[in-house]
Structure 1
């Protein structure tokens, strides 16, 4: 039903546009590039060379500046919603590509699985939530699906996102925008640039200031917990000196300052009509402040028609300051703060060759990421009942050489009875905790990628990366019990055990308050790629590719034991087939990719049993996934265009063993979190000659699960949904006025639910807005 509704509504605009086309008005309309009806030419750069979308073997979804404008795409997560086989994870804090989260799938590991690049700089995971991901003055967004480890290295097992801002031009340009929307959102933005020295030096600058009150109110603190205050500034210089033909240098600096709700923003679901009246009762604010600075220098020198040398250097700094409430209650009992500083510097030297039969590149890469992670919190640790019962039972039987089954049962019954009394007096263990976990990651690599035309139709594809990584980490922790120990006199016959258990609690807290020495681990990975490509006609080509993906190993801090535990890399083999076709003189493109991924040595979190903080990462997982993407785009006339995409992904853990103390669970058979089986997106727009414009798009995501486990069918279900967006307006040559709507049908769903405390991460409500824009 929903798919039929989506198709009908998405194409309704096409019928309307055909009917209205007879209505011609002799008035000068806005400037348009529609001098032909060919589908917009798209050049993919994310594979470190420039080639057309139709000649790119990798499954890549490209969102151009024109599409960003037509569809009113405001943030990167609007791109996620419109892209086949992509989905949000915990709200707008992360995303999946082909069912694989950019942050994690199996719960283990500290490195990401998909990296976001902004103007050549790789952002750390913290910036994917609070970084510079607004779409104002962005030139292009590329989503590369499938492992990009050969060209991108670490943290690209699932894919990569390449965001490129608008470049300077030697023609003066200026645009400004004012946007007002639901949630008391106010956005003011300007961008412009032009020549400094004709044909040799040009600049471009952009500024966007956005404020909003959000949609979740906290009556305890009397404030909006998801209010937003953000500022994005970017400047670029383009240098093409006439004295040195072939040289092109671009320098980019970007600054982002964002004060917003905490990364995971919850609302109560135990209040009436909670989708319309969203409240949070926490006694502590849930906020995150993020500052990001990015500096990138990209220098290219073209020796001749076939040989180009590229040197790219980037430096980015991300600072976050977070405060959060841990129990979501008005009383201030469990809360925390976190501060992270991440500095990343990278250099890449690459030689590109574009011959008649051989095309390819070879490069060297080095990067250093220096991160500080400071945490301070007042935590109420749930009392580890199972650990207490096990310890007491062993103590009671210590003097019995060979206990019988009856003696064991009696000891267990006695331990359970005492545990009930003790935990009633001390249900949680209050701990004042602070931790410092610095890390330094050095990565060096040599990589290559090439295609060799054996005939006019058949080409061999190949590449490799040899990656070396040094990962250094340490941990310094302080833990202090802040509660009151039960007194022995209140326990009658069990009084002798109280002192013992009090000591057990004190020892557990003390164990969490020690220092783990610095640990350094080194990893080497060889990542090959091989394939073939066949050009059936100038407009139809197919390919088959196999390549290896990986996520590096590392070390994880066991908070309960204050130790650093090492784990090894995980690997995938990805097998992919692609089809690229163009029809009707290039006005229609139909592209598809099918894939199968075999994943081994997955990094899985295991709990060792002391308490909920006694966990570390081990290589104990194995899984597979498969599916396809189908993407269609057509420019019917100079004024009318439409697109559609269909994605299908099936994920499954083949071996997923989680240990929690003496309890071991095999979750084999469960699916990846936030991995919908089906994603559908459709949209169309029409531009009348009198200046009126209309756009409508819709996106469907089938249901998925918010966690991995055997009870997925009953628990943690993120329901399926259809979200429609529209934009309608009037344009002249130098200005435009538009109204728009996001989530027009007000679809409601929860991305994550904490039923134990009555909160959930709710979907965004319907948003209506007004935009005024001028351009010169």
Structure 2
């Protein structure tokens, strides 16, 4: 026993020092019968098979329905805040995993790097703000850190998030919740169901409605800029007919309607006490209206003791309309809007095998995403002074004027002209439809070479066809300078006016559709060694992938192709369980080498003359560690620690003399450290308490040489929930008070230099909830 305790202590110390990532409900190993506390198993499903956390070598943070309730987790972004090596980007518009944003790290690319799946449907990146991400009646959330390209495909280079709502059961049960919180936030949730036909057909219905005024008041429009009005409806059916032994089907339909402020809702920073009295002064609407429909059908059939055949059919539609004020001032100078409809269908067929020595899955996948994107705006383009000087100098020297004289005249005239026309107002509209079709063959499995040593292997062959076109209009919406007011430079004015007109006209041209095809082979290979039944280590190498595509250069009205990007990922994991202490200690350490990175490159014509090119290489490394302990039937605690370092090895943007070398800069929103800790206690008299806190180090908000001045503040958020529970009148009742950001930490997520505004972190939120179950 003494040697076993010493071994356990050494393992725990190694985990804390070398660490990798904790699941909030990571306990999956089963404790011995004589253990002081029992650890409930948690099953991970996101890797196309069912296995415990302790048998999952991928770094995964699992949050169950019990944790969602205990910690008053209201949205997906509450999970982002508490998960090791995760961070929000630009408010609640996206997230990073290990420093890699779900959409991109350098502005390049149109496909995602980490995808959120809700009941099997992939949520488009643009719906990460205002999509179906509330946590009411959610059964489990699995956050996979590290590439999931082998099993998930094109949009999972950084990781994947699997959100699973509560499934029907053959026992009657109902839940209800009413909540009131700061910001005039009020919500109601109802969920329940039971058998229609005993042991064969069951249903579950869920409804959630939330309205809130928010915290930012628009003094010009006399309205709340960040108000929220959202509701969701969901119905599920479970079928297990006795006539078909081993058959199971789950059908889901859900609808989420969200009306809120624009995803970037800024507050003025030039007003007194702007953290406590948040105002905006925009004259144009800043609104977002997103409706998401999801239908999913999952089928499975057991084929004897070893084989299971399963399939999933999914359809989703995201309808998005956004309006925004570009200049962020009371003057009506620049504004815009975008409308987007994304329809996605997917089909997947899998065959799982669960043998004595070999366990694995092989599958076929096909998906089609049809996106119709339209935008319109009145945009003030900063005058490209350098381009004007270059063009005018070239024209003068071509006419025989000496170079030095030409440059002097060009600069003198440019100063006068730009003073008269500092920005170029453009009435712009675009229509850029895109169709992406993906077909893939994948396999993943493990083979026990010995009772302790296992070989891990997998692959994915992915074929994609990407069709995209661009239709644009651009009209000069201002007044050209008149030649008469420029004296000796009058002849130049006509020339430059024509130059401006041609530049605007160029932006208004259309480009024909183009189809690009991509093929990728994504291997995975690793080993796992089980030192004991409760301790294992593994090492895995796999290839990550993001597909190529085409980007629209708005200034030149052209569709520009770019190629795929790839990563090689090296990951070491530790899984340990100490039954005598009821403690799980899990860790992952990783190194990633990223090549052919898709980055934004400006070609110099003006600020809108940019496109995506494969011009970057980078690397990142770090670790996650997660602890979870059940001290007794009354008390438990958990902790997580994450460390990430990111670096662009090569990142050159611009052309000619206007090249900026951003090599050496870090990824945006990639904090070096994240830490979280929490605990629960339940008294015999019905009182319950939860207290948790999470820390995120400061992070840069942009890539490049100016990073030092573009920082998202470090912050520590303390949250808590305290209440009373009782079992009376045939139901379980609970009344609670809760707090988010209890200490009222004040921090910025992003700040602007051109206008005194910023994205501010949420202030202290206090609330009460009333819940019942029967």
Say whether the 8 Å CA contact 1:587–1:634 is kept in structure 2: yes
2:205 is equivalent to residue 211 of structure 1: no
TM-score (normalised: structure 1): 0.94
Say whether the 8 Å CA contact 2:36–2:582 is kept in structure 1: no
Residues in 1 aligned to 2:411 and 2:649: alpha-carbon distance in whole angstroms:
36
Q: Which residue of 1 aligns with 2:445?
A: 450
Structure 1 residue 514: deviation in Å?
1.0
Q: Which residue of 1 aligns with 2:523?
A: 528
Gaps of 5+ in 2: 1-15, 17-34
Query: Pick from 683, 694, 706: which aligns with 1:711?
Result: 706
Aligned pairs (5 A) from 1:334-733? 334-400=334-400, 407-585=402-580, 587-659=582-654, 662-713=657-708, 715-733=709-727
2:179 is equivalent to residue 184 of structure 1: no
Q: Which residue of 1 aligns with 2:733?
A: 735
Say whether the 8 Å CA contact 2:581–2:631 is kept in structure 1: no
Residues in 1 aligned to 2:579 and 2:541: alpha-carbon distance in whole angstroms:
32
Q: Which residue of 1 aligns with 2:172?
A: 172
Aligned partner of residue 372 in structure 2, secondary structure: strand
Residues in 2 aligned to 1:469 and 1:663: alpha-carbon distance in whole angstroms:
35
Residues in 2 aligned to 1:409 and 1:251: alpha-carbon distance in whole angstroms:
75
Aligned partner of residue 408 in structure 2, secondary structure: helix
Residues in 2 aligned to 1:262 and 1:553: alpha-carbon distance in whole angstroms:
29
Distance 1:227 1:36, change over 3 A: farther
Residues in 1 aligned to 2:468 and 2:596: alpha-carbon distance in whole angstroms:
22
Aligned partner of residue 663 in structure 1, secondary structure: coil
Say whether the 8 Å CA contact 2:417–2:481 is kept in structure 1: yes
Aligned partner of residue 486 in structure 2, secondary structure: helix
Structure 1 residue 660: deviation in Å?
5.2
Q: Which residue of 2 aligns with 1:121?
A: 121
Residues in 1 aligned to 2:572 and 2:513: alpha-carbon distance in whole angstroms:
45
Residues in 2 aligned to 1:688 and 1:55: alpha-carbon distance in whole angstroms:
34
Residues in 1 aligned to 2:579 and 2:362: alpha-carbon distance in whole angstroms:
37
Aligned partner of residue 414 in structure 2, secondary structure: helix
Aligned partner of residue 489 in structure 1, secondary structure: helix
**Stretch moving more, 37-46 or 468-477:** 37-46
2:316 is equivalent to residue 321 of structure 1: no
Deviations 1:284-321 (A, max 9, x none): 01000000000000000011121000110000000001
Residues in 2 aligned to 1:617 and 1:221: alpha-carbon distance in whole angstroms:
38
Structure 1 residue 661: deviation in Å?
6.4
Q: Which residue of 1 aligns with 2:32?
A: none
Deviations 1:481-539 (A, max 9, x none): 11111100000000000000000000001001111000100000000000000000000
Q: Which residue of 1 aligns with 2:26?
A: none
Structure 1 residue 586: deviation in Å?
6.8
Matched residue count: 737
Aligned partner of residue 607 in structure 2, secondary structure: coil
Residues in 1 aligned to 2:336 and 2:697: alpha-carbon distance in whole angstroms:
35
Residues in 1 aligned to 2:657 and 2:323: alpha-carbon distance in whole angstroms:
35
Q: Which residue of 2 aligns with 1:19?
A: none
Aligned partner of residue 413 in structure 1, secondary structure: helix
Say whether the 8 Å CA contact 1:38–1:585 is kept in structure 2: no
Q: Which residue of 1 aligns with 2:153?
A: 153
Structure 1 residue 112: deviation in Å?
0.8
Residues in 2 aligned to 1:135 and 1:265: alpha-carbon distance in whole angstroms:
23
Residues in 1 aligned to 2:90 and 2:348: alpha-carbon distance in whole angstroms:
33
Aligned partner of residue 399 in structure 2, secondary structure: coil
Say whether the 8 Å CA contact 1:607–1:661 is kept in structure 2: no
Structure 1 residue 271: deviation in Å?
1.2
Residues in 2 aligned to 1:126 and 1:107: alpha-carbon distance in whole angstroms:
14
Structure 1 residue 662: deviation in Å?
4.0
Residues in 1 aligned to 2:657 and 2:516: alpha-carbon distance in whole angstroms:
29
Q: Which residue of 2 aligns with 1:761?
A: 759
Say whether the 8 Å CA contact 1:457–1:534 is kept in structure 2: yes
Q: Which residue of 1 aligns with 2:22?
A: none
Structure 1 residue 410: deviation in Å?
2.3
Say whether the 8 Å CA contact 2:77–2:88 is kept in structure 1: yes
Residues in 2 aligned to 1:675 and 1:255: alpha-carbon distance in whole angstroms:
33
Deviations 1:668-690 (A, max 9, x none): 11100000000000000101111
Residues in 1 aligned to 2:580 and 2:348: alpha-carbon distance in whole angstroms:
39
Structure 1 residue 578: deviation in Å?
0.3
| 4+ long deviations beyond 3 Å | none
Residues in 1 aligned to 2:551 and 2:706: alpha-carbon distance in whole angstroms:
27
Aligned partner of residue 416 in structure 1, secondary structure: helix
Q: Which residue of 2 aligns with 1:67?
A: 67
Q: Which residue of 2 aligns with 1:87?
A: 87
Deviations 1:543-583 (A, max 9, x none): 00000001000000011111000000000000000000000
Aligned partner of residue 454 in structure 2, secondary structure: strand
Residues in 2 aligned to 1:36 and 1:428: alpha-carbon distance in whole angstroms:
72
Structure 1 residue 48: deviation in Å?
0.5
Aligned partner of residue 604 in structure 2, secondary structure: coil
Residues in 2 aligned to 1:109 and 1:753: alpha-carbon distance in whole angstroms:
24
Aligned partner of residue 732 in structure 1, secondary structure: strand
